[in-house]
């Protein structure tokens, strides 16, 4: 028996003799056993054969092969009676069944791999076709809007991604502005005017600043990914720059619901798309710039010249509106009228008629202002899912417009006018077409600021004149009532006919009195009241001006002020009267009907005026006290002379009590006389006088 281990070789095939030189080859009969690999090892594993018996059978098989009688291992085992035929057949059957199952599983794996590979190839083919379609579109797209909308939609539909968006860099190269995006979330972001600063801590900000693609395989682990409730399913993201001649003009952003959704081939195809989009953007912008109507440019130029020479806000708005009334688009102009926006004009070119000024429909000014806050224009290309307020969508829906551009005209943060352009076609309003109108609005804004600056300068001159007149008047006034009337007259010249009062505070008693109150055309006074929790008391305690020009009742409550059944004015302004750190009272104006009736300039004027008034009031108080003291001294001197003129003790006592009562204003005077060392209990003379 050989010393080699039976496991050192693999007996899955019968040993054959070296008979290559023999012309007579002996073939082993075909048998199921031929299909069974490693029969001996399997018999040992099943405990049907020992290793020693297997080695014995192998040696016997080898000897037969050398003798020219090759035989299968199973035949040898049966012949040597190491196993019986039925056991051998059963083992062979089991092995064949297992081999068949393994073969079926292998076939399934092969089919699955083929299917996956086929799907991958089909997906790549779809991506390539999409890239080719975008390339064709880029060469014939009539507008930038058409190009961007088709591109993001095809990326999502054909590539199977969750979300796609295109950002374009603004002309000032400060922000990447969302221009097109898929889905309801994308529409909401567009309506919000969503933008990200270039170089900001965001994926879009990083890509547009560095001109490099950025792949996020897992959004939960990337420090630049911005979580957004509008995209709760995003798990991976790739952003690619849109570059023209090494200058970034925007970014293509694609998101997926699966981590590690983007491989190298995906990125190559998407980058190809990004390059085609960038090239198309460049070509469309050049084409749009060349197609801008020269007559329209001339019209805008003429209007700009007129606006620059306007002297009032009304003239500026009218001249700007005239441009919109002469365009080839649907146009409307809404002008601020208090809390409402009044429809100034409505123009529809197909009517071939001048603007319709018969309608004066009111729209809430605050709703439009809140929706457009911070925007210099707003382009809407889909009203089906818009969340804009009715003030902005009513007119376009009446037009059945497909696209609308809103141009708000701002003055110190307030919406002064709203110009609307509309079109019944899509893809009309390009950046190149919008820009001249935007320039016109910018010019109108500058003109409004100029007028406001002139008005502010004139107001300052007027205020200085008022301060000068008041200074001259109060310098010579010694009577408080005259002083209050002079102050009121001068304030009326600046602020108009409004409620005005002066309140004085006595820290010794803690009471406040109102010696001068002008309200509803009448002048009156209010008796002393204890320092309470109203706005007047707050100004006295805080020693600081207080101006409330909107929601006065609510803001007064927030400050802790309590109004006892009084109707709150729409605008309230109060400044403290302070001399050397001591509060003498408060000077206040109110407007019962108008909000925002008082500006910061008005507050500064009253505060400056209050400093002079406070000094004047203190001087009149000191003068009154001096006069009162002098009068008292005079009366005491006269009383002393009368006492000295008396000839007897009773007359002296009676005269003394009467004069003291009159001089001091006392209701009762008691005079006691008693010898030294005697308690004051008798010889009392008293006199009572009326107040």
3-state DSSP of 481-508: HHHHHHHHHHHHHHHCCCEEEEEEEECC
pLDDT computed for residue 237 by the predictor: 94
> Cα–Cα distance between 89 and 486 in angstroms, integer?
130
> Cα–Cα distance between 548 and 559 in angstroms, integer?
11
Instruction: Please check whether residue 531 lies inside any domain of the structure.
Output: yes
- The 3 state secondary structure assigned to 86-144 is HHHHHHHHHHHHHHHHHHHHHHHHHHHHHHHHHHHHHHHHHHHHHHHHHHHHHHHCCCH
Torsion of CA 372, 375, 380, 383, to 10 degrees: -20
668-672 and 582-591 beta bridge pairing: unpaired
Tell whether 654 and 598 lie within a shared domain.
Answer: no
- Residue at which a domain ends, from 266, 291, 316: 291
Highest mean pLDDT among 200-214, 373-387, 647-661: 200-214
The proportion of the chain whose per-residue pLDDT surpasses 90, expressed as a percent, equals: 12
Tell whether 566 and 586 lie within a shared domain.
Answer: yes
Instruction: Please check whether residue 501 lies inside any domain of the structure.
Output: yes
Tell whether 519 and 418 lie within a shared domain.
Answer: no
The Cβ-side half-sphere exposure at 542, using a 13 Å CA radius, reads 15
> Cα–Cα distance between 415 and 441 in angstroms, integer?
12
Cα–Cα nearest to 425, from 152, 165, 142, 150? 142
Torsion of CA 291, 296, 300, 303, to 10 degrees: 170
Say if CB 176 and CB 195 are below 8 A apart.
yes
Cα–Cα nearest to 507, from 527, 525, 479, 530? 530
The Cβ-side half-sphere exposure at 591, using a 13 Å CA radius, reads 20
Instruction: Please check whether residue 210 lies inside any domain of the structure.
Output: yes
pLDDT computed for residue 449 by the predictor: 77
Beta carbons within 10 angstroms of residue 4's beta carbon: 10
pLDDT in tens, 226-264: 888 889 999 999 999 999 888 899 999 999 999 988 888
Highest mean pLDDT among 339-343, 406-410, 603-607, 610-614: 406-410
What are φ and ψ of residue 453, in 5° steps? -65, -40
- Residue at which a domain ends, from 241, 266, 291: 291
pLDDT computed for residue 135 by the predictor: 61
Task: Please report which confidence band the pLDDT of residue 468 belongs to, taking 50, 70 and 90 as the band edges.
Answer: low
Tell whether 529 and 447 lie within a shared domain.
Answer: no
Tell whether 132 and 193 lie within a shared domain.
Answer: yes
Instruction: Please check whether residue 100 lies inside any domain of the structure.
Output: no
Helix (H, G, I), strand (E, B) or coil at 598: coil
Beta carbons within 10 angstroms of residue 100's beta carbon: 11
Write the CATH number for 482. 3.30.450.40
Task: Please report which confidence band the pLDDT of residue 134 belongs to, taking 50, 70 and 90 as the band edges.
Answer: low
Instruction: Please check whether residue 659 lies inside any domain of the structure.
Output: yes
Instruction: Please check whether residue 603 lies inside any domain of the structure.
Output: yes
Tell whether 496 and 611 lie within a shared domain.
Answer: yes
pLDDT computed for residue 420 by the predictor: 92
Range of the domain at 512: 477-624
Instruction: Please check whether residue 252 lies inside any domain of the structure.
Output: yes
Query: Which tokens is 120 given?
Result: 């991958």
> Cα–Cα distance between 173 and 139 in angstroms, integer?
26
Task: Please report which confidence band the pLDDT of residue 688 belongs to, taking 50, 70 and 90 as the band edges.
Answer: very low
Degrees to nearest 5, angle at CA 304 with 298 and 308: 155
Its pTM stands at 0.38
pLDDT in tens, 153-184: 888 887 788 999 999 988 778 899 999 999 99
Q: How many domains does the chain have?
A: 4
Instruction: Please check whether residue 657 lies inside any domain of the structure.
Output: yes
Task: Inform me whether the pLDDT recorded for 639 exceeds 80.
Answer: no
Task: Please report which confidence band the pLDDT of residue 211 belongs to, taking 50, 70 and 90 as the band edges.
Answer: very high
pLDDT computed for residue 242 by the predictor: 92
pLDDT computed for residue 574 by the predictor: 92
Tell whether 149 and 268 lie within a shared domain.
Answer: yes
> Cα–Cα distance between 316 and 16 in angstroms, integer?
109
The Cβ-side half-sphere exposure at 588, using a 13 Å CA radius, reads 31
Among the ranges given (280-294, 321-335, 459-473), the one the predictor scored with the smallest mean pLDDT: 459-473
Q: What is the arithmetic mean of pLDDT over 297-321?
A: 71
pLDDT computed for residue 19 by the predictor: 32
Cα–Cα nearest to 430, from 143, 137, 141, 140? 143
Degrees to nearest 5, angle at CA 454 with 468 and 552: 75
Query: Which tokens is 398 given?
Result: 């009446």
Higher pLDDT, residue 118 or 690:
118
Beta carbons within 10 angstroms of residue 592's beta carbon: 15
Tell whether 284 and 320 lie within a shared domain.
Answer: no
Rounded mean pLDDT of the chain? 77
Higher pLDDT, residue 358 or 98:
98
CA 350, distance to chain mean position in Å, is 39
Q: Which residue is listed with tokens 């968006």? A: 165
Cα–Cα nearest to 32, from 80, 91, 81? 91
Tell whether 581 and 638 lie within a shared domain.
Answer: no
Q: Which residue is listed with tokens 């507008």? A: 143
Say if CB 405 and CB 421 are below 8 A apart.
yes
Tell whether 633 and 673 lie within a shared domain.
Answer: yes
Tell whether 495 and 392 lie within a shared domain.
Answer: no
Q: Which residues contact 686 (CB under 8 A, 6 or more apart)?
A: 657, 668, 669, 670, 671
Task: Inform me whether the pLDDT recorded for 71 exceeds 50.
Answer: yes
- Residue at which a domain ends, from 624, 648, 665: 624
Tell whether 223 and 281 lie within a shared domain.
Answer: yes
Task: Please report which confidence band the pLDDT of residue 202 belongs to, taking 50, 70 and 90 as the band edges.
Answer: very high
């Amino acid at each position: 028996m050989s010393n080699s281990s039976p496991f050192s070789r693999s007996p899955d095939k019968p040993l054959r003799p070296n008979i290559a030189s023999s012309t007579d080859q002996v073939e082993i009969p075909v048998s199921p056993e031929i299909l069974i690999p490693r029969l001996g090892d399997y018999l040992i594993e099943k405990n049907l054969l020992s290793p020693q018996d297997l080695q014995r059978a192998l040696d016997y098989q080898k000897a037969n092969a050398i003798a020219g009688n090759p035989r299968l291992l199973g035949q040898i085992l049966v012949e040597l009676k190491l196993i019986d035929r039925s056991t051998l057949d059963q083992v062979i059957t089991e092995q064949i069944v297992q081999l068949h199952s393994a073969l079926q599983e292998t076939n399934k794996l092969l089919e699955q791999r083929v299917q996956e590979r086929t799907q991958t190839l089909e997906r790549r083919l779809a991506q390539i076709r999409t890239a080719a379609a975008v390339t064709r579109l880029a060469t014939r797209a009539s507008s930038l809007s058409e190009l961007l909308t088709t591109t993001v939609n095809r990326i999502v539909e054909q590539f199977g991604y969750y979300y796609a968006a295109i950002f374009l860099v603004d002309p000032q190269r400060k922000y990447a502005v969302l221009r097109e995006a898929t889905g309801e979330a994308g529409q909401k972001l567009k309506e919000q005017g969503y933008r990200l600063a270039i170089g900001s801590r965001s994926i879009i900000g990083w890509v547009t600043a560095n001109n490099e693609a950025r792949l996020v395989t897992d959004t939960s682990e990337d420090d630049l990914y911005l979580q957004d409730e509008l995209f709760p399913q995003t798990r991976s993201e790739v952003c690619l720059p849109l570059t023209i001649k090494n200058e970034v003009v925007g970014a293509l952003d694609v998101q997926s619901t699966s981590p590690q959704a983007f491989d190298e081939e995906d990125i190559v195809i998407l980058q190809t798309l990004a390059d085609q989009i960038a090239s198309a953007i460049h070509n469309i912008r050049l084409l749009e710039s060349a197609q801008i109507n020269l007559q329209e440019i001339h019209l805008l130029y003429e209007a700009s010249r007129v606006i620059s020479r306007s002297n009032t806000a009304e003239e500026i708005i009218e001249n700007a509106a005239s441009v919109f009334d002469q365009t080839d688009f649907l146009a409307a102009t809404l002008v601020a009228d208090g809390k409402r926006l009044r429809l100034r004009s409505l123009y529809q070119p197909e009517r071939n008629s001048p603007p319709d000024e018969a309608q004066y429909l009111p729209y809430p000014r605050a709703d439009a202002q809140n929706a457009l806050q911070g925007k210099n224009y707003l382009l809407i290309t889909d009203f089906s899912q818009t969340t804009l307020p009715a003030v902005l969508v009513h007119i376009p829906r009446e037009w059945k417009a497909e696209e609308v551009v809103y141009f708000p005209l701002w003055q110190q943060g307030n919406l002064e006018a709203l110009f609307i352009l509309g079109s019944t076609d899509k893809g009309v309003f390009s950046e190149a077409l919008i820009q001249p109108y935007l320039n016109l609005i910018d010019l109108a804004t500058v003109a409004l600021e100029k007028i406001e600056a002139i008005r502010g300068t004139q107001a300052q001159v007027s205020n200085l004149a008022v301060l000068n007149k008041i200074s001259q008047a109060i310098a010579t006034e010694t009577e408080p009532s005259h002083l209050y009337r002079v102050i009121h007259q001068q304030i009326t010249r600046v602020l108009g006919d409004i409620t005005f009062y002066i309140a004085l505070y006595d820290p010794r008693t803690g009471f406040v009195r109102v010696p001068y109150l002008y309200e509803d055309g009448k002048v009156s006074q209010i008796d002393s009241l204890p320092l309470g929790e109203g706005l007047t008391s707050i100004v006295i305690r805080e020693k600081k001006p207080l101006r409330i020009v909107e929601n006065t009742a609510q803001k007064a409550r927030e400050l802790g002020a309590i109004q006892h059944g009084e109707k709150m004015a729409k605008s309230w302004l109060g400044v403290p009267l302070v001399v050397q750190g001591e509060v003498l009272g408060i000077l206040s104006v109110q407007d019962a009907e108008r909000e925002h009736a008082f500006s910061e300039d008005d507050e500064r004027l009253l505060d400056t005026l209050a400093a002079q008034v406070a000094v004047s009031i203190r001087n009149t108080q000191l003068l009154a006290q001096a006069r009162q003291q002098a009068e008292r001294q005079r009366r005491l001197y006269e009383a002393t002379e009368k006492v000295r003129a008396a000839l007897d003790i009773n007359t002296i006592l009676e005269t003394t009590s009467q004069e003291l009562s009159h001089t001091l204003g006392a209701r009762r005077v008691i005079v006691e006389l008693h010898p030294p060392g005697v308690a004051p209990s008798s010889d009392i003379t008293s006199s009572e006088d009326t107040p």
